Amino acid sequence: MVVGDIATGTEVLVIGAGPGGYVAAIRAAQQGLDTTLVEKDAYGGTCLNYGCIPSKALITSADLAHEAGNAEEMGIHADPVVDMSQLRDWKDGVVNQLTGGVEKLCKANGVNLVEGTARFKDENAVRIAHGGEGQGSETIEFEHCIIATGSRVIQIPGFDFADEQVWSSRDALAADTVPDRLVVVGGGYIGMELSTTFAKLGSEVTVVEMLDDILPGYESDVARVVRKRAEDLGIDMNFGEGASGWREDDDGIMVTTETEDGEENEYRADKVLVAVGRSPVTDTMELENAGLEADERGFLSVDDFRRTDVEHIYAVGDIVADTPMLAHVASKEGIVAAEHIAGEPVAFDSQAVPAAVFTDPEIGTVGMTEDEAEEMGFTPLVGQMPFTASGRALTTGHADGFVRIVADDDSGFILGAQIVGPEASELVAEVALAIEMGATLEDVASTIHTHPTLAEAVMEAAENALGQAIHTLNR
């Protein structure tokens, strides 16, 4: 033990206070386990502080301003002015309310909170280095450990986030001015959410994507609806190009891209936002001292209980291999890990994991697509309801997109859904529940849905699969 180092013990040590870590810590404490939560930055992690929450606050504000300024068809004439400084203060207030709430919830449930950076000494202890000069360190010995250190943005060669002109998603969400011209590198969900947001705030937006379409991983007809809307907003799409560098001149910056054939293109901008994904944070903890080794991409392998190769050490969230980087997945994994430590009969089940993209329009998906169902040996039965046939969608002025439900033709069990349209992030929850409960098309179709609501489109999609839809033509 070094001078200034003190040693304490705990039953459950949780490293990282993001959606996976703080939820795991609270649940472990609720199970009567002595629990310690270590966080080096801010309670709530990236999601609450620099990702999910501030981005949705910015998206909501941009949507409101854009709708108010583009509602002449409804007889509304306005020219909104967005005060970005005031908007940022409001957004930060929302974030502070939530992160402060996380800290209070942890304390109220009896979780011991420790600020600092954790590194493994061995498989039963970590050393916590406290921030600030003279703060020292301490050793915490544990019976069980849950690693929940999350992820960081990926930086590409030639684009250093330390440069003022180069933005990460975190920088974009902290902006107090709107750039006149913005180049976005990456057409994934983060890139497209922020592209549409800044376009609505007044930026001239150019998207550069290496692949041949936006939103990889989503079906082409789903991505097509979002792409068309983005183009209607004036966003310039450029596919098959990778960003290779940038330079500054008297008129802002020039971003250079290159195709597979070596053809170069240049795009004028004031800022360039790099949004090409995230990578797990597992390289800061000296995992080897605990007998752990991440794979070549930095992920840790776990079993159904979220145990690593060292069975009293668990991993949850963005650092886990073969699970999506989603806050709600991390939270569920945290609950499973904590309850398994407490001896509860639990396991992680990924049958019904919904995902949402907060573009315009939104996307909500869960379970299998039609192709995936076929690959799994099912005979898929598919129903679809366009929002152009939804009275409620039409009254909102947002009728692009559809609800599609995939079921097993033999049993009627619902296998998945793809929704693109207004409030898709909310609507997908009904189908997630249906899959979790083993509901059939008949169960959803025979459930009376409130009129007029967007949720009726879910019912109509189920009816369409059965050949019984009223408000759309049956297949």
Catalytic residues: 451
Q: How far apart are the C-alpha atoms of 338 and 146, rounded to whole Å?
A: 8
Q: How far apart are the C-alpha atoms of 170 and 183, rounded to whole Å?
A: 16
Q: How far apart are the C-alpha atoms of 439 and 444, rounded to whole Å?
A: 7
What lies within 8 Å, CB to CB, of 337 at 6+ separation is: 24, 146, 305, 306, 307, 314, 316
Residue type, 296: E
Q: How far apart are the C-alpha atoms of 112 and 457, rounded to whole Å?
A: 46
Which tokens go with 117?
Answer: 């950076």
Backbone φ/ψ region at 62: left (φ over 0), alpha (ψ -120 to 50), beta: alpha
Residue ranges with strand state E in 123-263: 125-129, 137-147, 151-153, 166-167, 181-185, 204-209, 236-239, 242-249, 252-258
Q: Give the angle 341-347-45 at the CA atoms, nearest 5°.
A: 70
Q: How far apart are the C-alpha atoms of 291 and 399, rounded to whole Å?
A: 54
Using the structure block, give the residue that is written with the tokens 């913005």: 182
Nearest to 225 by CA among 197, 196, 190: 196
60-70: burial string, b at 16+ Cβ within 10 Å, e else: ebbbebbbebe
Largest Cα span, the chain: 77
Would you mind telling me the total number of residues written for the chain in this entry? 475
The SS3 call for residue 426 is helix
Sign of CA dihedral 334, 23, 125, 135: positive
